[in-house]
Chains A and B, each alone.
Chain A
Amino acid sequence: MKRVVITGAGTINALGHDVPSTFEAMREGRCGIGPLDIRDVDRLGIKIGGQVHGYEPEERFNRQQIALYDRYTQFTLIAAEEAIQQSGIRFEGELAATSGVILGTSGGGLTTQDENYRAVYEEGKNRVHPFVVPKLMNNAACSHVSMQYNIKGPSFTVASACASSNHAMAQAFSFVRSGMAPVMVTGGSESMLCFGGIKAWEGLRVMSKDACRPFSATRNGMVQGEGAGIFVFEEFEHAKARGAEILAEVVGYAMSSDAADIVMPSKQGAARAISGALKNSGLNKSDVGYINAHGTGTAANDKTESAAVADVFGTHADKLMMSSTKSMHGHLIGGTGAVELLACIMALKDGIIAPTIGYEEPDPECALDVVPNVAREAKVKAALSNAFAFGGLNAVLALQKF
């Protein structure tokens, strides 16, 4: 088995348009959630989100590119550029032929769908732009990354709702670990903050109208976010040979399915994924100093997740820190695990634990150290990143300090 290291990271999300600004916001416990600035927001019951502000597509892409790039693809390409640039890798020859791109998304080109349904149904138009299909498809972002960087190996998109990015990164990791690919570009992206994207979530009645307060007794639901997180996963000897800077090591993962309910989470399913990730990575429970929680801020998730962590870690559960950065950047659905992996990298590399902001009141059912409101300095040897999706599909990644 090969060792797998992260040699590049990129992002754009409500907290920042790149990794350094996102780290800074996480260190400062800044909230990226605010009033939504989208069409027909007055017809929505939920009017807040972790929206990417100060971003003009025209400043990053030309007219022909914008005609082909849905917002989720734009986010992906911006994050991929940062990650690949940091990594310093160039995909040529055999490296290009064997390296791949595996990305997660849930809604894909949902903004494109929303705009075009509007055009044909609401405005009664009988003609749509010729690129609607290649723009909205869930693999568009993956394909554009592969085209832009000449990456010609195994490439595809994974969709498992809120766990999409974690499933994608776990799959990319296993390709590198097994020796099948020397380098994988991986992560995920989402841009669901359009009228239809929010209206659909509103229907489920699990959304908060004011804030995302994971693990707090006063929590009242989730808040959506948008953006992307992209990473370069590289075989260790390959990275060492070219003198690449290593951000962290990915050491294992596990996936599980609750096989129980389409929306209610299961403690057993979550616990199996968490303990499976420990086993797969060879980490001891006591090695884990930080968990980036799924922590959606819903009543059901947060108590179930806390119970699952307590079950798996036993007495060590009281010694580790577990925060939900969704309180700051919102829930990026299919892209969320990718942006949250940044908090794990920050913990391992910089020794700074991102806080759970908006925390008001302890909940006896979520009685772990959730790093309330203020970031903390701590030396962390290993970290986990949890993702538990609607549909009961779970994926947990394990990382360690390099």
Chain B
Amino acid sequence: MTDQANVTEKVIEIIAEQAVLEPSDVSVDMSLEDVGIDSLGLVECIFAIEEAFDISVPFNANDPQESDFDISSVASIVTGVEQLIREQKS
């Protein structure tokens, strides 16, 4: 589950489930706002990502912009997850 295609696929699956969409409706260039995920949904996504990849995501809901984890788009989340997997699984 650590190669790029699989990470992207899994992250999209998590986000789509949270947004009550089909994975095919979610593309990597979309923002969470585009897919209709609010702040509470975001916290749930992060939890699901942590569980799926067995990683810990540095994210504080008080100030998402200031967190080390970039949530500006699906692609940035995938990049962040890949980096965390490298750091935390090595």
Contact = CB atoms under 8 A, between A and B. Distances in A.
B20 interface: no
B83 to A, nearest CB: 19
A366 to B, nearest CB: 13
Sorted from nearest, which 4 A-B pairs have the closest CB atoms?
A: A205-B61, A299-B62, A221-B62, A206-B61
* Range, interface on chain A: 10 to 19
Contact of B39 (A220, A221, A264): A264
Contact of A262 (B40, B61, B63): B40
Nearest to A296: B62
Contact of B60 (A205, A262, A264, A300): A205
Contacts of A263: 39-40
* Range, interface on chain B: 10 to 19
B40 A219 contact: no
B63 A204 contact: no
Nearest to A221: B62
B43 interface: yes
Contacts of B63: 220, 299
Which of B39, B43, B61 counts the most chain A CB atoms within 10 A?
Answer: B61
A226 to B, nearest CB: 22
Contact of B43 (A204, A219, A298, A300): A204
Interface in A256-278: 261-264
A263 B38 CA distance: 12
B53 interface: no
Contact of A298 (B46, B47, B59, B62): B62
A205 B40 contact: no
Nearest to B63: A299
A301 to B, nearest CB: 10
